[in-house]
Amino acid sequence: MNILTIAIQKNDQVVSASYELIEAAKQLSGNIVTVVLGNSISQAAAELASRGGGKVLSYSDERLRFFNDEIYTNIIGSIIEKHEISLVLAPAGFYGKALMSRLAAKNGGKMVSEVSSISADGENIVVSRFHYGGSVVSDITANGEGTFFVTMRQKIYPESNEGQGEVITETADESLFASRTEVKEMKTESAGSVNLTEADIIVSAGRGMKGPEHLHIVRELAESLNAAFGASRAVVDAGWVSYSHQVGQTGKTVNPKLYIACAISGAIQHLVGMRTAKTIVAVNKDKDAPIFNVANYGIVGDAFEIVPALTAKFKKELQD
């Protein structure tokens, strides 16, 4: 089996989820091929090779500085054909989903998104994914002919840190750069120093914080843990913070190692976006709040007292 992992880069730096794909591919005992496209990507390609990326195909071109799903589809499609790829893996982020849907359609393949695990059953690939906010898990088997396209949820597999690989510098044919769009600039709305979808720790605020003037209490806890700052839909709808912070069904689906919910009641819309976190800690003065039904640890009390106490404790531990 030939497996292609797509390394996503931002400013020519490979995102951590790309190494998680390599680790997932290792579980299948196939031949791993990794592709990375960017403006000046040689250093990133070398690191991918040193961390188990297998045959790393490196494409450096000014026209690849910004993500363009048409151009990426053209180049990666040619790789799939040339290397007879059976399985393609990409992170289940914005870029991965946009790209894989195009690739599957153009190459006549099968696609499953937001996969939580992947394994081999003989010659078949079996993937698992969550439904209904994580209350149902289904196993999907890809069999028959055609390439299988899979987007993997982040923070499920650890990052691959070692392995053998080689870098092959490639040049794409001019015809593959044909596109109906041209990306001239990319601007990112800042959601804090740590990206929500890539964070190992997330601290989120709910409507129980009573107003935007009190959100600094939750932000300070996040900063003490070097965590990302999130929020419930109610907080975003009230205009207290921007949409980029929203965790939930209509916001970002996250899967951190630790999720701390501060004054969040736990509406189903919010639970859908975070209930698969490894450890959930809830702080709420209502002992009957739905958030406690999914929390591993619950603190019943006033967030205005408990959150600052936690912040002081963590700061002291780090200083000691």
Residue 62 within any structural domain of the chain = yes
One domain for residues 14 and 121: yes
Distance CA 312, CA 126 (A): 46
Q: Where is the domain boundary, 145, 177, 209?
A: 177
| Domain CATH for 157 | 3.40.50.620
Residue 182 within any structural domain of the chain = no
One domain for residues 62 and 201: no
Report the run of H or E that residue 297 belongs to, with start and end.
strand 297-300
One domain for residues 171 and 207: no
Give the count of domains, the chain: 2
One domain for residues 9 and 138: yes
One domain for residues 109 and 11: yes
User: pLDDT, tens digit, for every residue of 82-106?
Assistant: 999 999 999 998 899 899 999 999 9
One domain for residues 150 and 279: no
Alpha-carbon distance values, 145 to 32, 113, 115 (Å): 19, 19, 21
Distance CA 22, CA 227 (A): 25
The stretch 2-21 carries a mean pLDDT of 94
Q: Where is the domain boundary, 143, 177, 211?
A: 177
pLDDT for 276 equals 85
User: pLDDT, tens digit, for every residue of 26-61?
Assistant: 999 899 999 999 999 999 999 999 999 999 999 999
One domain for residues 154 and 272: no
Distance CA 194, CA 176 (A): 35
Alpha-carbon distance values, 46 to 131, 182, 192 (Å): 38, 28, 29
Mean pLDDT of the chain: 92
Q: What percent of the chain has pLDDT over 90?
A: 75
pLDDT for 80 equals 96
One domain for residues 277 and 243: yes
Residue 191 within any structural domain of the chain = no
Q: Could you tell me which residues come within 8 angstroms of residue 103 by beta carbon, excluding any fewer than 6 positions away?
A: 73, 76, 77, 80, 88, 109, 149
Q: What percent of the chain has pLDDT over 70?
A: 97
* Reported pTM: 0.81
Distance CA 277, CA 206 (A): 17
Residue 60 within any structural domain of the chain = yes
Distance CA 131, CA 175 (A): 40
One domain for residues 215 and 147: no
One domain for residues 263 and 166: no
User: pLDDT, tens digit, for every residue of 174-224?
Assistant: 999 999 998 888 876 554 556 788 889 999 999 999 999 999 999 999 999
- The residue among 313 and 134 whose pLDDT is bigger is 313
| Segments forming the whole domain that contains residue 76 | 2-177
User: pLDDT, tens digit, for every residue of 123-150?
Assistant: 889 999 987 766 788 999 987 678 999 9
- The residue among 197 and 77 whose pLDDT is bigger is 77
Looking at mean pLDDT, say which of 11-15, 228-232, 254-258 comes out highest: 228-232
Residue 43 within any structural domain of the chain = yes
Distance CA 133, CA 277 (A): 12
pLDDT for 189 equals 57
The stretch 296-314 carries a mean pLDDT of 97
Residue 184 within any structural domain of the chain = no
Residue 242 pLDDT greater than 80, yes or no: yes
Residue 185 within any structural domain of the chain = no
Residue 218 within any structural domain of the chain = yes
Q: Could you tell me which residues come within 8 angstroms of residue 145 by beta carbon, excluding any fewer than 6 positions away?
A: none
Distance CA 152, CA 127 (A): 10
User: pLDDT, tens digit, for every residue of 163-185?
Assistant: 989 999 999 999 999 999 988 88
One domain for residues 123 and 36: yes
Residue 281 pLDDT greater than 60, yes or no: yes
pLDDT for 193 equals 55
| Domain CATH for 201 | 3.40.50.1220
The stretch 237-266 carries a mean pLDDT of 92
Residue-wise DSSP of 66-95 = S--HHHHHHHHHHHHHHTT-SEEEEESSHH
pLDDT for 191 equals 47
One domain for residues 171 and 264: no
